[in-house]
């Protein structure tokens, strides 16, 4: 049986723009909007594509793994166990 736990938290905010092409938006313009082979614009486009790939991989993993995953719940104590354990400080002195 293969068993593992994972926790994914991506909390990264990137605010960047090309100094030569400040109006370039990789989301809207895509790869075709890069003018003159600008390396900064290519880096922005690659960063945007990497984020889209990560989001797609996470959605695909959840889609495939969710039917076999289960949430661990704490065990419930039975009434007999509760009666045996007196509350703290209830012992006579």
Residue 3: both structure tokens together? 């068993």
At 27, the pLDDT band (50, 70, 90 cuts) reads very high
How much of the chain, in percent, has pLDDT values that exceed 90? 42
* CB contact at 8 A, 18 and 38: yes
**pLDDT (tens digit, 9 = 90+) per residue, 68-88?**
777 777 888 766 555 565 666
- Asked if pLDDT for residue 28 goes beyond 90, the answer is yes
pTM higher than the cut 0.85: no
**Phi/psi at 8 (nearest 5 deg)?**
-115, 125
pLDDT at 78: 66
Give the residue carrying structure tokens 């039917």: 67
Question: 28 or 11: which carries more pLDDT confidence?
Answer: 28
């Amino acid at each position: 049986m293969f068993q593992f736990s994972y926790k994914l938290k991506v909390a990264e905010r990137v605010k960047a723009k090309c100094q030569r092409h400040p109006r370039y938006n990789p989301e809207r313009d895509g790869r075709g909007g890069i003018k003159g082979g600008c390396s900064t614009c290519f880096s922005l486009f690659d960063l945007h594509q990497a984020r889209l790939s990560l989001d797609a991989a996470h959605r695909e993993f959840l889609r495939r793994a969710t039917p076999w995953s289960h949430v661990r719940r704490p065990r419930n104590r039975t009434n007999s166990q509760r009666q045996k354990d007196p509350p703290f400080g209830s012992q006579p002195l």
